Structure 1
Amino acid sequence: MTLIATNAAVPAPRTCPVTHATPAPSVVDPEAALEFLTRFHAEAEPSVPLARRIRRIREEIDATGTYAHTTEELEFGARVAWRNAARCIGRLYWRSLHVRDRRHVRTPADVAAECVEHLRVATRGGRIRSTITVFAPDRPGAPGPRIHNDQLVRYAGHRMPSGAVRGDGKYTEFTDRAVALGWQRPDPPGRFDVLPLLIADGDCEPEVFELPPDAVLEVPLTHPDHAWFAELRLRWHAVPAISNMPLEIGGVTYQAAPFNGWYLGTEIGARNLVDADRYDLLPVIAERLGLDTSSERTLWRDRALVEMVRAVQHSFDVAGVTMADHHSESRRFLTHVEREERAGRRCPADWSWIVPPVSGGLTPVYHRYYDEPDPSTRPAFLLPTPRSST
């Protein structure tokens, strides 16, 4: 069994100014560690006896306030956190999550370099692989690194002199923040400018790191029936790598643990590109389709939405980039629920996230109830905590 050294020196106190008021990492709760270890030994059946491992962990917590997971424990914990993710429809594949153990990495520059490598490893030329990269955890008195981006790849939102936004309207504030920290806006600003990574040593001021173009695979969007769609010059990135949700395993919190699956077509076609506060493209598509937009009763939004989703799905298929469709993934999710029930486990699900944002009633996930999510369930990916400036 591979062990991470626990007698390594605690990082030296940081001299940077603290820019965000965040709770100081506390001593690990031994009961949380015991609960996780009991589950791990029951499901994974490692060779080391449970009593011996518990004794070792109690000694570590008594001496340092925390403990180090073995490689096997980390892999199991990350996969079960995905299994427990009530908002994710793609959990059928939780056992195949590729875990990159980078717990020795904590400086912003090194974290940024590993984030770039994460994208390359996960992308694989379009054959997207579910991947997580786990960086140094919080320790008592020594918070681990933080990635301030909500995903490794996002597009900038530029406030124009006219008051309009060019790009992704959701990210105007984040874009302004990146500029204030030293990022140079492209000139002229575009609609799909990849934002830099903002990475901090704990609660220090984040540093700015540009993503190299070869690390971000993008898919140009076309339509199977309408040649004019290509004239819109739309595109989207291939890997949805969430990067601001802490991973908690057995009382240990890994604040920086970016992870990805692959896109569902509706995420891009029925949300990112059409939400009114994002790209708001439905009126453009409706006009090109020649739809009557004089009344909501013409259902022009619905008709335009379906064509947008078709374009996204078609484009990813043509490019050879992994993407799921909401009908197939809904059936697969129910397969996952059945497997979990046969294993004697609850399968919590947030109905509002599991049901797709288009044609929900046509999918099997719509027509049933699910176990309510339990916020105390661990291992888990935690919702990000809003940072308040000091």
Structure 2
Amino acid sequence: MPQDTQASVWAEARAFLRAYHAETNMPNLNARLRDVEAEIAECGSYQLLSAELVHGAKMAWRNSARCVGRLHWPALTVRDLRHLREPAAIFAELRRHLHLAWNGGQLQPLMSVFGPGVQIINDQLIRYAGYANGSGDPQNRALTDFLCAQGWTPPAEPGPYDVLPLAIEASGQVQLYHLVREDVREVSFSHPESPAFAGLNLKWHALPVISDMPLSVGGLQFECAPFSGWYVQTEIAARNLADAERYDQLPAVARAMGLDTRRERSLWRDRALLELNVAVLHSFDVAGVRLADHHRVSRQFVRFEARERRTGRAVQGRWSWLISPLSPALTPIWQRHYQEDAAVRPAFLKRLPGWEGAKGGPAKCPFHG
């Protein structure tokens, strides 16, 4: 390892270990620093202890400037699976991650950290295919094309919610793995006051698992560290299903609700958007699946800010990501100001989309999906 890189790793390791020991009241900081410095001098790198990795992952969530759900960072469960590097074994543990995080519908925040030399190409473990004919999720068209080029064959009759296979890369080779029905929990949507709404046949998967963001802790980078929490209803209803560039369902919702779509001044889009959010919240509640709403999560973020201030830590925040896409001015975050993304570590990083950087391209450039 070049000497300047080695010095950088040592500087980040030193800063992280000091923070870790201070926050956890762990003793023997100086001895640990000496051991790490000697290991870096001899090997060019070092190994985090499992407890250090766990706390570092929690700190990365706490530092995630784009995440409004950070109040819960201490509750993150971290699975230290760094001994696993083989794609088949990793896929088996990804399936286990989905089942553990599901937790009977009471979704629990979970991260699985795997060994070096492997990465997941998909940006989330569960993604719906996007096809050239416009069906499915247009956002995933490039990913779908990439997976087809790797050998995936779409269903004979492609649908709007075809779950894509997972592409796992190791040693420059990409292998595809298929999730089965019991791995993918989905919620079908109905409306508490409109029987016609169910006829739209809308649904979404219940568990978002971010899988393309490397975890950086103490100068070390873990390329394969999928992380899951739970959705805010606006992510599904005000973006995934509503955006014109995604599923574009507001006109269909308006028709099902009997709204006057002849004039924009009737605010039919706004009303349809609200009713779509009502339907998503209602349906997750009926299904018994954990889902945040934009009002509660905004209040929780204010509590997170206050708690961080008491510790003397500054809160990083990307305001445009923290505010709700539905009625943002009604939330307490609307009039607040935050320090824009600073280079704070530990952190989740952003790399090139897998289909562009699948052959080991460098990280370039979030947590909830």
Name the TM tier (shorter chain).
over 0.9
Q: CA offset at residue 389 of structure 1?
A: 7.4
1:120-135 aligned at under 5 Å gives the runs: 120-135=99-114
Matched, 1:194 2:194: no
In the alignment, what sits opposite 2:364?
A: none
Q: CA offset at residue 63 of structure 1?
A: 2.3
Contact 2:169/2:358, CA 8 A, preserved across alignment? no
Q: CA offset at residue 292 of structure 1?
A: 2.3
Matched, 1:50 2:18: no
Equivalences, count: 352
- From 343, 348, 359, the equivalent of 1:381 is 348
1:113-192 aligned at under 5 Å gives the runs: 113-137=92-116, 144-160=117-133, 165-192=134-161
Matched, 1:240 2:219: no
Tell me the amino acid that sits aligned with residue 259 of structure 1: F
Distance in 2 (CA, whole Å) between partners of 1:172 and 1:369 is: 36
Distance in 2 (CA, whole Å) between partners of 1:341 and 1:238 is: 33
Quickly say closer, same or farther: Cα 1:388–1:216, change in 2 above 3 A: closer
Tell me the amino acid that sits aligned with residue 124 of structure 1: N
In the alignment, what sits opposite 1:30?
A: 10
1:330-369 aligned at under 5 Å gives the runs: 330-369=298-337
Distance in 1 (CA, whole Å) between partners of 2:190 and 2:262 is: 27
In the alignment, what sits opposite 2:40?
A: 61
* CA offset digits 1:23-44 (Å, max 9, x no partner): xxx6562111111111111111
Distance in 1 (CA, whole Å) between partners of 2:316 and 2:267 is: 34
In the alignment, what sits opposite 2:50?
A: 71
* CA offset digits 1:116-135 (Å, max 9, x no partner): 11100100121100000001
Q: CA offset at residue 112 of structure 1?
A: 1.3
User: Secondary structure at the residue paired with 1:364?
Assistant: coil
Matched, 1:261 2:240: no
* CA offset digits 1:190-215 (Å, max 9, x no partner): 1111111111015x132100012111
Distance in 2 (CA, whole Å) between partners of 1:71 and 1:381 is: 18
User: Secondary structure at the residue paired with 1:132?
Assistant: strand
- From 82, 86, 92, the equivalent of 2:65 is 86
In the alignment, what sits opposite 1:108?
A: 87
Gaps of 5+ in 2: 360-369
User: Secondary structure at the residue paired with 1:307?
Assistant: helix
Tell me the amino acid that sits aligned with residue 12 of structure 2: A
Distance in 2 (CA, whole Å) between partners of 1:233 and 1:346 is: 44
Q: CA offset at residue 289 of structure 1?
A: 2.0
Q: CA offset at residue 388 of structure 1?
A: 4.7
Give RMSD over aligned pairs.
Answer: 1.4
Quickly say closer, same or farther: Cα 1:358–1:229, change in 2 above 3 A: same
Distance in 2 (CA, whole Å) between partners of 1:388 and 1:102 is: 24
1:292-311 aligned at under 5 Å gives the runs: 292-311=260-279
* CA offset digits 1:39-58 (Å, max 9, x no partner): 111111223x1111111111
Distance in 2 (CA, whole Å) between partners of 1:222 and 1:286 is: 14
User: Secondary structure at the residue paired with 2:306?
Assistant: helix
* CA offset digits 1:268-292 (Å, max 9, x no partner): 0000011111101011111222222
TM-score normalised over the length of structure 1? 0.88
Distance in 1 (CA, whole Å) between partners of 2:164 and 2:82 is: 25
Distance in 2 (CA, whole Å) between partners of 1:167 and 1:177 is: 15
Distance in 2 (CA, whole Å) between partners of 1:176 and 1:151 is: 16
Tell me the amino acid that sits aligned with residue 146 of structure 2: R
Tell me the amino acid that sits aligned with residue 23 of structure 2: E
